[in-house]
């Protein structure tokens, strides 16, 4: 009995260290999730293209969301820090209605649009941000709008 309790306790300690170990792979100011590092500075508001350039200078790009789990994690983080409108890398700048990720030019395989979105309001919404409605669902927006943004890179 004592041996199995020790093994369970050891497993719990090791499991509790995994987020710490993962976080250690990201530089200060970045936060980790599933092999990626993310960065957001609540004091900086930029257009989509300026945000992308800013991220690239950090060795990253605007966030590319590939799974429901990653989206849920990011939405939870944005809610925790009380973020408002926040750019991600999704856009249809090259071809209206064809949503691609800025960093890879890959088609989006996952989405979490607000109801009735995307709508390309006034034929001027080609970039996507997390909406600020408490649920942080996706919304298309004019790319020249200055808002927060999330950078993403692989963890080191």
Band (pLDDT 50/70/90 cuts) for residue 156 is confident
Identify the domain containing residue 94 by its residue range.
2-154
Q: Report residue 147 as tokens.
A: 């808002």
CB burial class (10 A; 0-12, 13-18, 19+) of residue 21?
Answer: exposed
Whichever domain contains 12, its CATH number is 3.10.100.10
CB burial class (10 A; 0-12, 13-18, 19+) of residue 10?
Answer: exposed
- Cα distance between residue 128 and residue 137, in whole Å: 10
User: How many domains does one find in the chain?
Assistant: 1
31/11: higher pLDDT = 31
Average pLDDT, the chain: 87
pLDDT at 133: 82
pLDDT at 134: 83
Band (pLDDT 50/70/90 cuts) for residue 31 is very high
pLDDT at 20: 39
pTM given for the model:
0.83
Average pLDDT over residues 106-133: 95
Half-sphere exposure of 1 (CA within 13 A, CB side): 0
Q: Report residue 100 as tokens.
A: 């691609």
Dump pLDDT digits (tens) for 54-109. 999 999 999 999 999 999 999 999 999 999 999 999 999 999 999 999 999 999 99
């Amino acid at each position: 009995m004592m041996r199995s309790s020790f093994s369970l306790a050891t497993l719990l300690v090791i499991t509790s260290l995994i987020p710490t170990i993962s976080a250690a792979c990201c530089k200060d100011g970045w936060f980790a999730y599933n092999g990626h590092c993310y960065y957001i500075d609540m004091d900086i508001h930029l257009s989509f293209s300026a945000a992308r350039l800013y991220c690239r200078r950090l060795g990253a790009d605007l966030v590319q969301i590939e799974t429901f789990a990653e989206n849920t994690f990011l939405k939870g983080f944005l809610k925790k820090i009380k973020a408002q409108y926040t750019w991600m890398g999704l856009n249809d700048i090259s071809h209206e209605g064809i949503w691609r990720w800025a960093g890879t030019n890959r088609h989006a395989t996952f989405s979490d649009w607000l109801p009735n979105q995307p709508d390309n309001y006034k034929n001027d919404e080609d970039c996507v941000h997390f909406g600020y409605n408490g649920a942080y669902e996706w919304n298309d927006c004019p790319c020249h709008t200055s808002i927060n943004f999330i950078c993403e890179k692989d963890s080191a």
